[in-house]
Structure 1
Amino acid sequence: MTASARYTELHDLADHASGFEAVWVSTSDRNGTYRVLPDGRCDIILRFDARLTPITAIMVVVTGPTTRFYDVALEPGMGFVGIRMRPGFFERILGFEPNGLADGNLTGDDALAALPDFETLCAPALDRDELAVRLAAFVRQRSLSSRFAPAPISASVISAFHAAGGRLRVGEVAAMHGVSERTVQRVLIRATGLKPKAFASILQFHRALRLLRDHRLSPAEAALEAGYADQAHMNRVFRRMGGFSPARLPDVTLVTLGE
């Protein structure tokens, strides 16, 4: 794995009310691969050749929620503009639920078949900034005019898992909201495409990563603080979700996750 893409979030374009917590851009400067970590989110991505002016041959990719890492092959000049949707807004924005895309994606013609309106995103653009503004406006309009709405308790359930860093059990979240475990599971699957245990595990993984990288805790300290049974448990999760050891963190991107 080589970090051959520069990832940047455009914070001024984010619109939580419209259902997207980040607009991001990335351009590859050489051949290599880019490791994508599971984050409990789904993205709409425009892929293009950043060396062209104007930008043409734009491909739409919709990523589903993932439960383990994957590597994206890159070439020099390969560009990406993406929007990371907030949990619970996938159906509102796209008109169908995310659970069918778990550990998968819709690319090119498949994305257009699922939502023909994506065609408007593929018109030539002067640069990636124009593409970013276009994508944000597209998602905002889709969200505002949608007939779909998240379940009333969806945001509160998701917030509870976030606030606990994935350490709460499904039964505890259910008790907090006065509903059954089955209701929590149904709400979360519809909102994120993931079962509660998988979603919680992803949040716990990201918390541990930040404790190691940003707070400089030792692996043993991070395992305890993140709520793993022990360091060996955390090691197994890191291997499965990230493909690396907590003791030797590679240069990977940690995206901004809102509630």
Structure 2
Amino acid sequence: MRQPRGDSRGILEPARLMRRVRFRRQLPAAALRRWVEHYWLVDWDLTEPFEQRVVPHPAVNVVFQRHGDGPERAEVAGVGRKLFSIVLTGTGRVCGVQFRPGGFHPFWQRSVAELTGRRWSFAELTDRWPPAAAASADPTGLPAAGGAAAGSGICTGTDAERCHVLDALLTSWAPRPDPVTDEVMGLVEAIRTDRGVRRVDEFARDHGISVRRLQRLFVTHVGVGPKWVIRRYRLHEAIERAAGGPPDWAGLAAELGYSDQAHLVRDFTAVTGVSPGAYAHGDRR
């Protein structure tokens, strides 16, 4: 059986995160794995504020969160082009759904580019997305699971109960298999796993597709273009490698397809807000 990803790609200072909060990933029901990468659950009980920064994946997330005794909030987070930062305080819980890149399209059923760079609450989407409208009209109508009471929300109960509710909710949105979506998800996976992918035109040629069609497919289904996806995955790898200690930056730049070390340093610093050397040595601002 496939296991959730065990890497920390995109998470800045992952060891610090694990010391301060309970973070884990869980797989969705088998029928949903076609589109959903994993569920991610976070619980915290803090005596002082804690800031976490994340370099987003080229993926849409649906997030349910509850802070203290406040109401549960639900939002759709499109692909984030910039560094995401959040400050956690007191107690709280988050239940997130990270879709595979391109995997949210069967649920959204329009161009995913509409969501890129934005975080929309379900309340803001009631006129645009039927699942959000249904949830807003009947906030107590979420399915119950195990020890979770009907209407108590997503962020309640054990991990298994929370995942079961998410399974039921996503299944109720009735996604339909689509060969074009499958094609796009396969193309993104090829970029993620093959370090040799460096140029959009070469990638398109190798997969028997025109650059124009590749660009259109990525914007519509993923929310960003293929060049952005290539650079983001390579930067994720650089960040993860740096977390383990200073690598050979010149060698890593060449390995990841940068023309020289200076280009990697500029990309790294622009996205994370700190230079590669400072990050690798734990010198945070």
Which amino acid counterpart does residue 103 of structure 1 have in structure 2? G
From the superposition, tell whether residues 127 and 230 of structure 1 become closer, same or farther in structure 2 (CA, over 3 Å): same
Query: Which of 140, 143, 146 is the equivalent residue of 2:175?
Result: 146
| Structure 1 residue 25 displacement after superposition | 0.7
**Which consecutive unaligned segments of at least 5 residues does structure 2 have?**
1-11, 144-150
Say whether 1:64 aligns with 2:78: yes
Post-superposition CA distance 1:158-186 (Å, at most 9, x none): 23322324843111121112221000001
Contact 2:80–2:116 (Cα < 8 Å) also in 1: yes
Find the aligned partners of 1:140 and 1:74 in 2 and give their Cα distance.
30
Secondary structure of the equivalent of 1:89? coil
Answer yes or no: is 1:117 the counterpart of 2:134.
yes
SS where residue 276 of structure 2 aligns?
A: coil
Please report the TM-score for the alignment, with normalisation by the length of structure 1: 0.82
Q: Secondary structure at the match of 2:279?
A: coil
AA of the residue aligned to 1:34: Q
Asked if the contact 1:28–1:79 (Cα under 8 Å) also holds between the matched residues in 2, the reply is yes
Structure 1 residue runs of 5 or longer lacking an equivalent are 253-259
Per mean C-alpha deviation after superposition, the further-off stretch among 13-22 and 229-238 is 13-22
Partner residue, 1:207: 237
Rounded Cα–Cα distance in structure 2 between residues aligned with 1:22 and 1:251: 31
Greater Rg over alpha carbons, structure: 2
The superposition leaves residues 13-43 of structure 1 with CA deviations (integer Å, 9 ceiling, x where unpaired) of: 6766341111111123332322121211111
One-letter identity of the residue aligned with 1:117: A
Contact 1:14 1:20 (8 Å CA) reproduced: no
Question: Is residue 52 of structure 2 the alignment partner of residue 34 of structure 1?
Answer: yes
- In structure 1, C-alpha distance between the alignment counterparts of 2:32 and 2:276, rounded to whole Å: 32
CA contact (8 A) 1:14 1:21 kept: no
Inter-CA distance 18–159: structure 2 relative to 1 (3 Å threshold): closer
1:57, distance to aligned residue in structure 2 (A): 1.9
Distance 1:136 1:243, change over 3 A: farther
Structure 1 equivalent of residue 90 of structure 2:
76
Q: Distance in 1 between matches of 2:245 and 2:194?
A: 18
Q: Give identity over the alignment, percent.
A: 22
1:256 paired residue number:
none
Do the aligned partners of 2:246 and 2:277 also contact (CA within 8 Å) in 1? no
TM-score (norm 2): 0.75
TM-aligned CA distance change 1:58 to 1:192, over 3 Å: same
1:22 aligns with 2:42: no
- Write out aligned runs for 1:1-259 (5 A): 3=17, 4-11=20-27, 17-30=33-46, 31-49=49-67, 51-52=68-69, 57-113=71-127, 114=129, 115-118=132-135, 119=139, 120-121=141-142, 123-125=151-153, 126-127=156-157, 129=159, 130-142=161-173, 145-147=174-176, 149=178, 151=180, 153-165=183-195, 167-214=197-244, 217-249=247-279
Across the aligned residues of Structure 1 and Structure 2, the Cα RMSD in angstroms comes to 2.9
The AA in structure 1 aligned to 2:94 is F
Native 8 Å contact 1:62 1:105 kept in 2: yes
